[in-house]
Amino acid sequence: MAKAPPKLEILVVASEEAEREELAAALRPLFRVQSLHSSALAQRAPLVDASAAVAVLNGAEPGALEALLPVRELFAGRGLVLVVRDVEDALLEEVIPRLDPVQILTHPVPAPVLLLAIRRALPADAPGEGARLGQRRARALLGVSAAIREVLQQVRKVAPLQVPVLILGETGTGKELVARAIHEESPRGHRPFVAVNCSAMPETLLESELFGFRRGAFTGADRSMRGLFQQANGGTLFLDEVGDTSPALQAKLLRAIEQQEIRPVGAEETVQVDVRIVSATHHDLEAEVARGGFRQDLFYRMNTVTIYVPPLRRRRVDIPFLAQHFAEELGEVHARRITLGEDFLDALAEREFPGNVRELRNAVERVIAMACPGETVSAKELPALERAAAPAHQPGQGTLRERIEQVESEAIEEALNRFDGNRTRVAEALGISRVGLRQKMRRLGLETGSRR
């Protein structure tokens, strides 16, 4: 007899135990259920691995909406069923854009109605056929900051489209994870996602990797090979550090993107491909274009939509959140569970993390390696990390990139104050375009709704 497939897990969130149990009882015949109190959601969210969620919003409870915001972060609005109770129209108008539930039900909810709503909130694909955790975003993009919420909102908007996307951000911020989230949320999500680091190999090797080659094309080519464009056919090709490519290769990339065809090295005929291009770089490509280091036509073709991934120092509120997630994830990998103490998390939040999320993950893994199983790690363990907490930026301190960012931030803020936030005049005074000013402000974390 064939083994029954495992039940999907549903997260139930409510402030009252009776409500949680009532909803869980309705779901248990078909699903596994994980229940959480609303107040515990922010801390426990990194550990959640459910396919969909049902959450209760009690309009009579102060701060009820804010307590549920991590649900939106987990399910990106596609796997959330919201049950409302004593919610007035004014609050409901605020709830819809902030939580973006797939369906709203009124308490009390009959069990058949709840089950139907949950089924509709689940991914359309069956497990093993492209199902992607209830259409959830990539888990390493977890966070509660406004900066990461903006990134996720941009991902949701651009994912269904077929336009090229350029992802900008410092090393270690998670640009590939954003690219994967775009792919997974797109209609191509069940097709291949192929990534290549353009700075990791010489130009001749990168060209043959991207476009493939025919047998005899060069010494050692004793067989033909399909390139990454062909391997990604029907899916997404992620060109990481595209700013490090040569002008000659940039010309071939431009043709491949515009014509949707490639010519393998040593071949006479072209090959048609259907690939969505997502690119990333830590370089300021607009400045590279201005100095002739990057083709302007390729830059315009790649940045139909641009997404900026903020550095970790611009979203410190996410550091404890991510650290808890990594502790759980890596504790399972290494079979060594530990607890991160509050003082340790507070101390982490004060660090600069020039290596961003990648450095934070390594720091947590290092602590796990040195801790005893079941230990609660305190702030006194921080000196055991390779790098002590860095002081706040001061003139003459920090890496070259950090010093440049400091100067740019001060210059832009001074000009914004001088011209009362008028971006057109600021751009003219600084000798850059308005688009360039906007890009720098977003990269430096200076974007505010009050600017014009």
In-domain check, residue 391 = no
3-state secondary structure the chain: CCCCCCCCEEEEEECCHHHHHHHHHHHCCCCEEEEEEHHHHHHHHHHCCCCEEEEEEECCCCCHHHHCHHHHHHHCCCCEEEEEECCCHHHHHHHHHHHCCCEEEECCCCHHHHHHHHHHHCCCCCCCCCCCCCCCCCHHHCCCCHHHHHHHHHHHHHCCCCCCEEEECCCCCCHHHHHHHHHHCCCCCCCCEEEEECCCCCHHHHHHHHHEECCCCCCCCCCCEECHHHHCCCCEEEEECHHHCCHHHHHHHHHHHHHCEECCECCCCCEECCCEEEEEECCCHHHHHHCCCCCHHHHHHHCCEEEECCCHHHCCCHHHHHHHHHHHHHHHHCCCCCEECHHHHHHHHCCCCCCHHHHHHHHHHHHHHHCCCCCEECHHHHHHCCCCCCCCCCCCCCCHHHHHHHHHHHHHHHHHHHCCCCHHHHHHHHCCCHHHHHHHHHHCCCCCCCCC
Residue 13 counted as domain residue:
yes
pLDDT digits (tens, 9 = 90+) for 267-321: 788 889 999 999 999 988 888 898 888 999 999 999 889 999 989 888 888 888 8
Instruction: Supply the range of the domain harboring residue 215.
Output: 141-308
What is residue 75's predicted lDDT score, i.e. its pLDDT? Answer: 64
Report pLDDT digits (tens) over 344-355: 888 888 888 888
pLDDT digits (tens, 9 = 90+) for 213-266: 877 777 666 777 888 999 999 999 999 999 999 989 999 999 999 999 988 888
**Same domain (yes/no): 366, 232:** no
**Same domain membership, residue 247 and residue 169:** yes
Q: 52 and 166 share a domain?
A: no
Same domain, 182 and 233: yes
223 and 83 housed in the same domain:
no
pTM of the entire predicted model: 0.58
The answer to whether residue 136 is domain-embedded is no
Domain boundary among the residues 308, 331, 363 is at: 308
270 with 407, same domain: the answer is no
What local confidence, expressed as pLDDT, does residue 350 receive?
A: 84
414: in domain: yes
